[in-house]
Structure 1
């Protein structure tokens, strides 16, 4: 292991977290020197971190200028959210098939949050709750293979979710939609829960400026 490896890992983790949660938004140009100064490091480990993140598709490096944060493309956002919706609808259907009591019990495990977070914290709170909410919904479906696949998608999902909760009122909208889905599950109303979940995922697309939410699911033959 090279002497720079531990600090390169630290720089990598620092930048990657901020890319995933939206603190480094798509289109922003990151300065190697600025990140190094923030972390109290030399430029070398930050350069190594940038190279790794470029290989993963998060950054695009421009010599002597910096690293551009690669925005989530409309096609990527649509494909990821479509995959997520299909898995979560399957989980809902499996849960509904076990009956109203199972649904009521599952509703009690779904994380919620009030819309009264301190200024500047509501978006991050909504993002954390979103991950916990959708992960727990998948677990409630009872298929651990699908739950793991869903969790493995989260790095792609989280950049989209961060963008969808960043605008004025968007974090509150996200939390309200989770609460409505949970209430439908608590009532044992699988049909309503399905409709609300589909509407919620489509709304995420609209909140990040993408239309086409109604086309998330293929048409019924």
Structure 2
């Protein structure tokens, strides 16, 4: 698939938003993006229009653009979608007779992170594994509509993880929860897998609302 200038701008700007480089409420300047990305006005504008439709940017005609805030309504919608769909997705992925090497690798990395990382580096390490795990389950689900819809949900959820994640704290048990999901997946225990997925999402929701309220 050919990557257009608009696609490049879209992916670059979105990555900055998801990783918190462009924080909620900050102004998005077309002129600055044109200079930074060495692109003309058209691909920048097309990318921002696309990001606006997906809820990452708010555009105010004749005034400008800002990175969309993380609101309680957004958090509610994200977790409703996750609870409705992710348990189903992981069970469907479990039923496919595909290589599980990627899952074993993530499990091992969750158990034994690299030595010598700072607290911030360790946090980024676990956030990256979290995203790889959830993306991996989604990619192994054959429903194209779920893949398309949930990819956007996971993108919005990533913004939340960057804000909320504290994998080394007593309150955040996401590492243990992820390992429990992986163990149930490898054992092909669909009932337990669904239960572990729901428990993880509900625990994450509680931590998220406590942070933003």
Q: TM over 0.5: same fold? A: yes
Q: CA RMSD of the aligned region, Å?
A: 3.9
Asked if the contact 1:164–1:205 (Cα under 8 Å) also holds between the matched residues in 2, the reply is no
What is the aligned counterpart of 1:74 among 72, 75, 93?
A: 72
Q: Give how far 1:15 is off.
A: 0.9
**How many correspondences in the alignment?**
197
**TM superposition shift of 1:86:** 3.3
Any idea what SS the aligned residue of 1:14 has?
Answer: helix
Check if 1:201 corresponds to 2:201: yes
What is the correspondence of 1:29-178 to structure 2 with a 5 Å cutoff?
A: 29-41=27-39, 45-62=43-60, 66-91=64-89, 109-110=102-103, 111-112=106-107, 113-114=109-110, 115-116=113-114, 118-119=117-118, 120-137=120-137, 144-145=142-143, 148-152=144-148, 153-167=150-164, 169-170=166-167, 173-178=173-178
Query: Does the 8 Å contact 2:20/2:162 carry over to 1?
Result: no
1:201 deviates by 0.8
* CA deviations over 1:1-60 (Å, ceiling 9, x no partner): xxxxx5444323311232344432332222333323322345564344333433443212
User: 2:43 & 2:190 partners in 1: Cα distance?
Assistant: 51
Runs of 4+ in 1 over 6 A off after TM superposition: none
Q: Distance in 1 between matches of 2:177 and 2:68?
A: 29
3-state SS of the aligned residue for 1:208? helix
Cα distance change on mapping 1:166 and 1:39 into 2, 3 Å:
same
Bigger radius of gyration: 1
**TM-score scaled by structure 1?**
0.64
Structure 1: which 5+ residue stretches go unaligned? 1-5, 212-221
